[in-house]
Structure 1
Amino acid sequence: MRRAVGAPLLVTGLLAGLLAPLVLLAVWSVTRTWRYPALWPQSFGDRAVRVVTDPGSQILSGLVTSAGIAATVAVVSGAVGLAAGRALGLHSFPGKGFVRFALLAPVVVPGITVSLGIQVVFIHYRLADTVPGVVLAHLIPATPYATLVLAAAYTRFDTAFEDQARVLGTSPLRVLVHVTLPALRPALTVAMMLTFLISWNEYVLTLLVGGGSVTTLPLLLFSAIGSGDTALAAALALVVSVPPLLLVGVTARALTGAGASTGSGETLAALGRA
């Protein structure tokens, strides 16, 4: 009885704690005057909302740029993580421990230090102030997460299924598509979600490598905060926050759904019939 009552209460409390800041941001975004110590705004206005939804503003292009960069980083990190994670998860080789430690370097080393070094290198190779340069910069902190997540998944992966598929005459590409990827789909989904979020929220690397020429939503948000425009900053914060929340919800739904896992045995049977 206590467990049956406690679980819904816990979920409700977590949702309330998650949504409360968003509700406050929503109120701020339509606030014209809110003077201390009043608990509620004195007047409301839709100026910030109109600015955010204006098709001619930088915000729409910033949204598209952020989504494009984050999606590219997620796909590339996932592809690199599949290969690197396989090596770390299934094979032993000299220096494996050092490689694992090196993967944590972008997380351990202060971000501003790494960013300044990256900026110098990218300027030398003419990658600064370009979208490809920003994508490459975002891959530096994102790829280690994808690699480590997939390496952990590979440690529980039975390569005998791949061997059986090859015995059935399946090509290496079909083995990857129909055997390996279905078995690793939950881990790959999580890895790509994490790398998307890392890129989506990245500010320092985008500012230094993009040089202001590549405009993303975090840059616009920090600009609004610096200008003291609280209503616009709140509206932009909502725009920045909602897509990641939706992505996490959709990902969680997909991973816990009835079709989240695919049996390797069923896949092999289908390949054998083919």
Structure 2
Amino acid sequence: MITKKLIKSLGILLILFPFLFLLGLSFSTNWRFPSILPLEITPDNWLGLFSFSGNLFESFILSIVISVSVGLLSTFTGFLAGKYISETIIREKIIFLSYLPYTLSPVLYAASIYYYFVYFNLTGNIIGVIVGQILITFPFSIILFTGYWNSSIKNLENLVLTLGGTKLQSYLKVLIPISKRMLLIVFFQTFIISWFEYGLTTIIGVGKIQTLTIRVYQFINEANYYYAALSSCLLIIPPAFLLWFNKKYVFRKII
């Protein structure tokens, strides 16, 4: 019994260690080898969050805005597109094409479409980054939703139309309410893809769109590990919240 508890405790410690280390590093200003613990613990890094050069908190808010926008647009457009794709005879071919963006790295993919973003003046601005990320998340949304639209859901839509309802009413009163769990799951997935996206944002944003992920890499390249740890802690917050929300309200209801 004691051995099982010890193994369980060690397992939990190993899982939490990277996060605890980052948190400890973010509260440090002097932690060097061979010291096991920081020589100085101070909240100065966190207190300076709003005033640090370039405003790290601004990058956090910018990343939230971009990821929420990408998640919402990809989810609802994929929801509608998935319905019509599931009914077409070329369904399998469209799904195959939806996988193509994932055969290239985001950097190569962004480089291949960069010309069109320059042509439409979408480089170096938030709109361009959102459009670029949607080109990655929208196909992923289609892949998930195409398999979701089964005969049972389509029969519910036909029932609403048979009883005199309109297309809009079938979506607002029936299809969206019964699909809210799936919509949440797809939103969370596309949000996470956007949240951690680096390569495409770097190229399309041409260094002007400083998302939190980009700031983490910048601090690492500058050997500023304390602010890199602080940025990483901020980077963990939304996915951790979504994981908690999923476990508490989405997956528990499905089970």
Same fold (TM over 0.5): yes
Q: 1:163 aligns with which of 158, 161, 181?
A: 158
What residue number does 1:111 align with?
106
What residue number does 1:63 align with?
60
Paired residue total: 251
SS of match in other structure, 2:153: coil
What is the CA-CA distance between 1:102 and the residue it aligns to?
1.1
**Unaligned 5+ runs, structure 2:** none
Distance 2:108 2:195 in 1: 20
Distance 2:78 2:202 in 1: 26
- Retained in 2: the 8 A contact 1:157–1:183? no
What residue number does 2:43 align with?
46
Q: 2:139 aligns with which of 144, 163, 171?
A: 144
Q: 2:192 aligns with which of 193, 197, 202?
A: 197
CA RMSD of aligned residues (A): 2.4
- Retained in 1: the 8 A contact 2:22–2:233? yes
What is the CA-CA distance between 1:84 and the residue it aligns to?
2.0
What residue number does 2:120 align with?
125
Greater mean deviation of Cα atoms: 54-63 or 139-148: 54-63
What is the CA-CA distance between 1:19 and the residue it aligns to?
2.9
Distance 2:73 2:115 in 1: 23
What residue number does 1:93 align with?
89
Sort the Cα spacing of 1:133 and 1:198 in 2 relative to 1 into closer, same or farther, 3 A. same
Sort the Cα spacing of 1:28 and 1:107 in 2 relative to 1 into closer, same or farther, 3 A. same
Return the TM-score normalized by structure 2.
Answer: 0.89
- Retained in 1: the 8 A contact 2:107–2:203? no
What residue number does 1:265 align with?
none
- Retained in 2: the 8 A contact 1:118–1:209? no
What is the CA-CA distance between 1:158 and the residue it aligns to?
3.0
**Percent identical:** 20
- Retained in 2: the 8 A contact 1:62–1:217? yes
What are the superposed Cα offsets for residues 25-45 of structure 1, whole Å, 9 maximum, x if unpaired? 011111222222232222223
Return the TM-score normalized by structure 1.
Answer: 0.83
Greater mean deviation of Cα atoms: 178-187 or 127-136: 178-187
SS of match in other structure, 1:158: helix
What are the superposed Cα offsets for residues 67-109 of structure 1, whole Å, 9 maximum, x if unpaired? 11111111110122112211333x2413x32211111111112
What are the superposed Cα offsets for residues 206-257 of structure 1, whole Å, 9 maximum, x if unpaired? 1111112222111111111111111111011000111111022113322145
What is the CA-CA distance between 1:14 and the residue it aligns to?
7.1
Amino acid at match of 1:28: L
